[in-house]
Structure 1
Amino acid sequence: MNEIAQPHDRLFKALMSHPETAGAFLQECLPPEVAKLLSPEPPQLVDGTFVEDHLRLYYSDRLFESKTITGKPLLLYTLVEHKSHEYEKVAWQLFQGIHAFMDQKTREDKNWRKLPAVLPLLLYHGAQEWRIPNELMFLVDADEALRPWLVNFYFPVVDLGPIPNGQLSQHARLRTGFMALKYGTRSPQEQMEALEELIDALLETPELLLTISIYLLTTFPRMTEEHVRLVVRRVKPQEEAEMMSQFAQEILAKGKPEWAALVRQEGEQKGKAETLTRQLQYRFGNLPSWAFEKVSNAKPAMLEEWSLRILDAP
């Protein structure tokens, strides 16, 4: 998948991998008359994608399997639009995804009698407001009298842009993820202005710190090492050293050489910390937990000074 689309795809799929979050997403984003038909059990994620390879630059998809309160199967096909502007042919992409699933289903069960209902849903996080009609017939050039006889469907559109940040979701994890997606396609200035709100959201969902921070690093061009440290110190200060190393490795792997110095620095710091720990254990025996923590969080210069001091220790 192209690197432009990959961070959006990774974040959305990470959010939807939690059944509770996926359930909240469907309950909040589907029309009320549909949401109330869903059974209380969390939806099950169906593996795979139905987006053609050459279109994965612009789209991600997730298929959820659920049931209605009457016990009938219901598939919910969610397409995520990654473009910064609306795309008038999105209904065709939804149609292709539904058709691909139906085709797979009938191939797997040659004796099928009825197909499950598949309801499409579009999640859009572009900068431009969505204004395109949400039906397949918008793309069909036909006389009005023919409309009742032609294939058509409607689809709910969730446009994150106009929604105030605090109202993106009642579910904390979903609200944090949606806020990140919302600003992932905005201007660099808008992105940095939203950083404080994103930190506040992460304080409610610290388990998302690594996932969201990597997303911000790959979609916010002005995000620097200092910005990352600020986020980590506010959300999980006790894990700063470890998380900065993870971020550096991740970003360096994506072709950002400016992070190479941090990778080297973190590696040198880790090596010096391990050497000092061995020296202390050799000299004084087993160490208390606070000593391990102090050594692991120390700066390289301090580690070097302590290594010299231990030579003169009584």
Structure 2
Amino acid sequence: MPKDDLTPKDPHDRLFKKVMSDEANVRQFIKEFLPKELSSQIDLKDMKLIPTEKIKGYNKYYMDTAVKCNIADTEGQLYFVFEHKSYPDPNVLLQILSYMTVLWDEQRKKNNPLTPVIPVVIYHGTTSWNVTTHFQGQFRNLSEVVKPYTPEFNYVLIDLTNIPTEEIEQKAKDTPFLAASLIIMKLVALGDIDGILRIAVIISLSEEERIILILYLFYTLDVDQNTMQRIVKELGGEEIMPSLAERLIKQGESKGEIKGKQELLIKQLRRKFNLTHGEEKMIRSVTDESKLDAAAEAILDAKSKDEVLNTLGLDL
């Protein structure tokens, strides 16, 4: 297994894109999780995934997953764009608008008719989603006189944390990897270890799919080594790849040491300069031990917290 598969920069992003790269999973998600008045009108047989890579050249935001399909009473194609979030992101509407304009600009340059876009946000975070679902809702005191001149659109919000686990499993019963992934993303956000240990659907997955989910759990759960070993064993990690458990245990020990250095540095900076929640989060994203050690030394003579944070290579 490639090294970068064990050390993803964003495990949430990697799992979501892996699941939604399968048209069968996307088709099932549209059919079962979107509002029925919408999904019932979509021709899922002719649905196709859109390569998001083609949008990179515009140097603008591009969505995690996008598909094109036909819908009743709509000539031509309808585009769905899927974006997943593990935290309430106030920029999500601007990100969606950026994708829309990139897509429409590309169509216009090819002299193609513009295609309607329906954004879908899949959320699995630890706090309630508190971001408005319509674009004009971002503005304070938007007067009725100005509204007609301001863009407006909504997005479909799928909050996994508010959907019962049994319902997720039932809706995605024909696509076990989709079901297991959505359930695990939800339970990780809730910190429900017992629920993770009871996921029966994972047994029906392929070896590769189980390994993907176990690695996702390893990099997203904040649990002790013994608990992680128990999870790996219960979900078949030792059975399908004995060396996987050993590798996770070794990395777990290193992970624990790094976490200790992160927390110590945060504690020292709090005492000397004070830290914002965002700055603490940035420090916890640093996994290079040499940088953490250098920052710990720098704090002794530093006259500002920026001196220490620059040592970590953080983009301030």
Common fold by TM > 0.5? yes
Pairing of 1:239-258 with structure 2 (within 5 A): 239-244=240-245, 256=255
CA displacement at 1:136 relative to structure 2: 0.4
The DSSP-based 3-state class of the residue aligned with 2:189 is coil
Structure 2: distance between partners of 1:168 and 1:54: 36
Q: Which moved more, 1:87-96 or 1:157-166?
A: 87-96
> What's 2:312 paired with?
none
With over 3 angstroms needed to count, the CA separation of the structure-2 counterparts of 1:165 and 1:225, relative to structure 1, is same
What amino acid is aligned across from residue 82 of structure 2 in structure 1?
T
> What's 1:62 paired with?
65
The DSSP-based 3-state class of the residue aligned with 1:216 is helix
Structure 1: distance between partners of 2:222 and 2:60: 24
Sequence identity, in percent?
19
Pairing of 1:118-157 with structure 2 (within 5 A): 118-141=117-140, 142-157=142-157
Asked whether the 8 Å contact 1:125–1:159 carries over to 2, the reply is: yes
What amino acid is aligned across from residue 87 of structure 1 in structure 2?
D
Structure 2: distance between partners of 1:52 and 1:139: 28
Asked whether the 8 Å contact 2:60–2:99 carries over to 1, the reply is: no
With over 3 angstroms needed to count, the CA separation of the structure-2 counterparts of 1:4 and 1:210, relative to structure 1, is closer
Asked whether the 8 Å contact 1:45–1:64 carries over to 2, the reply is: yes
Structure 2: distance between partners of 1:220 and 1:46: 32
> What's 1:76 paired with?
80
> What's 1:220 paired with?
221
CA displacement at 1:135 relative to structure 2: 0.4
CA displacement at 1:48 relative to structure 2: 2.4
> What's 2:178 paired with?
174
> What's 2:283 paired with?
none
Asked whether the 8 Å contact 2:238–2:245 carries over to 1, the reply is: no
The DSSP-based 3-state class of the residue aligned with 1:126 is coil
> What's 1:30 paired with?
34
Asked whether the 8 Å contact 1:38–1:67 carries over to 2, the reply is: yes
- Which runs of 5 or more residues in structure 2 are unaligned? 258-316
Q: Superposition RMSD on alpha carbons, in Å?
A: 3.6
Q: Residue 102 in 1 paired to residue 104 in 2?
A: yes
With over 3 angstroms needed to count, the CA separation of the structure-2 counterparts of 1:148 and 1:137, relative to structure 1, is same
CA displacement at 1:106 relative to structure 2: 3.1
CA displacement at 1:128 relative to structure 2: 1.3
Structure 2: distance between partners of 1:227 and 1:11: 19
What amino acid is aligned across from residue 45 of structure 2 in structure 1?
E
Structure 1: distance between partners of 2:46 and 2:180: 20
CA displacement at 1:82 relative to structure 2: 2.4
Instruction: Give the total of aligned pairs.
Output: 244
> What's 1:7 paired with?
11
Structure 2: distance between partners of 1:184 and 1:53: 34
Asked whether the 8 Å contact 2:229–2:249 carries over to 1, the reply is: no
**TM-score between the two structures when normalised by the length of structure 1:** 0.65
The DSSP-based 3-state class of the residue aligned with 2:129 is coil
With over 3 angstroms needed to count, the CA separation of the structure-2 counterparts of 1:215 and 1:120, relative to structure 1, is same
Asked whether the 8 Å contact 1:74–1:118 carries over to 2, the reply is: yes
CA displacement at 1:239 relative to structure 2: 2.4
Offset from partner CA, 1:235-290 (integer Å, 9 cap, x none): 376424254367579x58xx7488xxxxxxxxxxxxxxxxxxxxxxxxxxxxxxxx
The DSSP-based 3-state class of the residue aligned with 2:65 is strand
The DSSP-based 3-state class of the residue aligned with 1:209 is helix
What amino acid is aligned across from residue 117 of structure 1 in structure 2?
P
Structure with greater Cα Rg: 1
What amino acid is aligned across from residue 151 of structure 2 in structure 1?
V
CA displacement at 1:153 relative to structure 2: 0.6
CA displacement at 1:36 relative to structure 2: 1.3
The DSSP-based 3-state class of the residue aligned with 1:44 is strand
Asked whether the 8 Å contact 1:206–1:236 carries over to 2, the reply is: no
Asked whether the 8 Å contact 2:124–2:160 carries over to 1, the reply is: yes
The DSSP-based 3-state class of the residue aligned with 1:77 is strand
With over 3 angstroms needed to count, the CA separation of the structure-2 counterparts of 1:223 and 1:35, relative to structure 1, is farther
The DSSP-based 3-state class of the residue aligned with 2:45 is coil
> What's 1:164 paired with?
164
Structure 2: distance between partners of 1:247 and 1:51: 34
With over 3 angstroms needed to count, the CA separation of the structure-2 counterparts of 1:204 and 1:127, relative to structure 1, is same
Structure 2: distance between partners of 1:223 and 1:53: 43
- Which runs of 5 or more residues in structure 1 are unaligned? 259-314
What amino acid is aligned across from residue 99 of structure 1 in structure 2?
T
CA displacement at 1:41 relative to structure 2: 1.3
The DSSP-based 3-state class of the residue aligned with 1:39 is strand
Offset from partner CA, 1:153-210 (integer Å, 9 cap, x none): 1111011112111112421322211122123334xxx342333133x23124355211
**TM-score between the two structures when normalised by the length of structure 2:** 0.65
